[in-house]
Structure 1
Amino acid sequence: MVSVTSVRPRLAELRRLARSAAARRAEGVFLVEGATLGAEAVAAGLHVREVYLEAARADEESRVLSEQLAGTGAALVEIEAGTLAKVGASVTPQPLLAVVERPAVAAPESASGEAHDDVVSFVLVAVSVADPGNAGTLLRCAEAAGAGSVIFAGAGVDPYGPKTVRASAGSIFRLPPLLAEDPAATLEDLRGRGLRTLGAAAGRGLPYDAADLTPPLALVVGNESHGLPASLAGHIDEWVHVPLGGQAESLNVGAAAAVLCFEVQRRRRDAPTAGGTPADR
């Protein structure tokens, strides 16, 4: 086992990566906790640089995965029990933590580019979403509903933060998010490539079951507290909302996006193909 003293510089770097989006971007990596997510990252073809294992409390799955990763060139560091709690990636850390290279993804401008027009006909755009759990839910819902791309635009949470990675339940590996600084420019680019922009806002526009949700489209959701900024109104083609019962004023952005994403999936699935039968997706 490697002593905590000898790995102290590495642990300091782990703490920096756990807490700083800028550090993760600069290093081109993110942190993946636990054997289950670690195995999914590997299955998605991502490269693992380092694996930290608390051997004294590691289960068989964690031991096997760490050995497999070491065999592929990842640096395996065995540390004392309780060490990962000091990193701060989670309140109750799992015994395995991997440093994984971020996947190379196309720029937002290529999300619906000509080479992908037959695939990326449904894009989810999250503008200034602030909560890591919500960001992970958006990724998970988008993948499950068959979206071809997710774009995080504006000043929001880093989708590669530890909490978002956990909340995505592996979807971030298979549907790597795109990042964009300027939401307006991103929406205009998507419109220019033939996607309608559909803004989601409480009580605005048509109820989702009466709106045209057939692709190609970009579903645009906003910040948890403030929704979509008024400055984006000129870049939205249509507005849609989820009708509410009772005295609820609004839905969590993740819940609203789930309803809308799966309605898009239903419309795609039920749309007749060239042969006159419903499509699979």
Structure 2
Amino acid sequence: MLTSTQNPLIKQIKKLHSPKERRETQLFLLEGTHLIQEACAVNYPLQTVCYTPTWEARYPELLSIVAENCHRLESVGDEVIKAIATTVNPDGIVATAPRLAIAPPPIPANLTLVLSTIQDPGNLGTIIRTAAAAGVDGLWVSQDSVDLDNPKVLRASAGQWFRLAMGVSDDLAALVTSYQNQGVQVISTTSTAETSYWDVNWRSPTLILLGNEGAGLSQDLLALADLQVKIPMSATVESLNVATSAALLSYEARRQQH
């Protein structure tokens, strides 16, 4: 059992807290029982899995599954788990996994989200979780958004990260245009729009544009939308969280499409 936080393996895993290290090594962190279960459920390969004896006693069957799905398995002490986890109270298991090419959303598709400059990992993870729940075909994020494999994104996705088609684009304008060229309507939200999202015909293949938490969408992207819509709100409320907006629009689109 590894008990020293100065062990070379442990020091290397801890470096994956850094986005730069994740990009250079092409590895990312999976923390907690639920994410490990979801990864194994879709046969996502694991590189190194560290677990405590207490965790092993609680999840012996899952440990057997993990052992078949990982390259290296290590029993570690509680202090080691705390050192490599990004959470304050880890539940006893942390794994590293390779960055694999995720299948991007198809073009065209019934419903796709395009997210520009999303900075909050909790927001992105919640949008991923909601998109999967609403049956969205997939989502794109701009290259300057928070990393898809940020640990907080993974946790906030509640495991749905493994089940949703996702892509990263370095040119959202070109991406949006490619959808339009194949007959997909593009809808964005803005508080100054006259049309409510309730009054939109969502039955056609649709792409939903959503912007940065503070600045919203750039004028260039707004100009590409076939239709700008608003989400009706009380006069005392200035705006909604981007994840909430994504949920409202996604479920209204699915309600009409089904």
The TM-score with structure 2 as length reference comes to: 0.92
Q: Which residue of the partner structure matches residue 210 of structure 2?
A: 221
1:112 aligns with 2:110: no
Residues 235, 167 of structure 1: alpha-carbon distance in 2 compared, 3 angstrom cutoff:
same
Conserved? CA contact 2:190–2:228, under 8 Å: yes
Conserved? CA contact 1:31–1:100, under 8 Å: yes
1:164 aligns with 2:161: no
Question: CA offset at residue 78 of structure 1?
Answer: 1.3
Residues 94, 202 of structure 1: alpha-carbon distance in 2 compared, 3 angstrom cutoff:
farther
* Cα RMSD for the two superposed structures: 1.9
Q: Is there any run of 5+ residues in structure 1 with no aligned partner, and where?
A: 270-281
Alpha-carbon separation, structure 1, partners of 2:113 and 2:218: 17
Select which of 43, 67, 70 maps to 1:70: 67
Q: Which residue of the partner structure matches residue 275 of structure 1?
A: none
For 2:162, the aligned partner's letter is F
Conserved? CA contact 2:202–2:256, under 8 Å: yes
1:93 aligns with 2:90: yes
Conserved? CA contact 1:203–1:243, under 8 Å: no
Residues 133, 82 of structure 1: alpha-carbon distance in 2 compared, 3 angstrom cutoff:
same
Q: How many residues align?
A: 258
Alpha-carbon separation, structure 1, partners of 2:228 and 2:56: 49
Pick 1 or 2: higher relative contact order, CA cutoff 8 A, min separation 6: 2
Deviations 1:162-220 (A, max 9, x none): 00100000110001421112221221122223211111222324111012222301111
For 1:80, the aligned partner's letter is G
For 1:51, the aligned partner's letter is V
Moved more, 176-185 or 7-16: 7-16
Spell out structure 1 runs of 4+ moving beyond 6 A: none
Alpha-carbon separation, structure 2, partners of 1:141 and 1:215: 21
1:83 aligns with 2:80: yes
Q: Which residue of the partner structure matches residue 237 of structure 2?
A: 248
Alpha-carbon separation, structure 2, partners of 1:83 and 1:63: 20
Select which of 153, 173, 183 maps to 1:184: 173
Identity level (%) = 29
State the secondary structure of the residue aligned to 1:25: helix
Q: Which residue of the partner structure matches residue 198 of structure 2?
A: 209
Select which of 33, 36, 42 maps to 1:35: 33
State the secondary structure of the residue aligned to 2:112: strand
Alpha-carbon separation, structure 1, partners of 2:148 and 2:137: 17
Alpha-carbon separation, structure 2, partners of 1:137 and 1:178: 16
Conserved? CA contact 2:28–2:97, under 8 Å: yes
State the secondary structure of the residue aligned to 1:82: helix
Deviations 1:25-64 (A, max 9, x none): 3333321111222111111221111101122x32644443
Q: Which residue of the partner structure matches residue 4 of structure 1?
A: 4
Deviations 1:121-148 (A, max 9, x none): 2101111111000001110111111111
Conserved? CA contact 2:140–2:166, under 8 Å: yes
Q: Is there any run of 5+ residues in structure 2 with no aligned partner, and where?
A: none
Residues 214, 73 of structure 1: alpha-carbon distance in 2 compared, 3 angstrom cutoff:
same
Alpha-carbon separation, structure 2, partners of 1:132 and 1:251: 17
For 1:147, the aligned partner's letter is V
Question: CA offset at residue 17 of structure 1?
Answer: 1.4
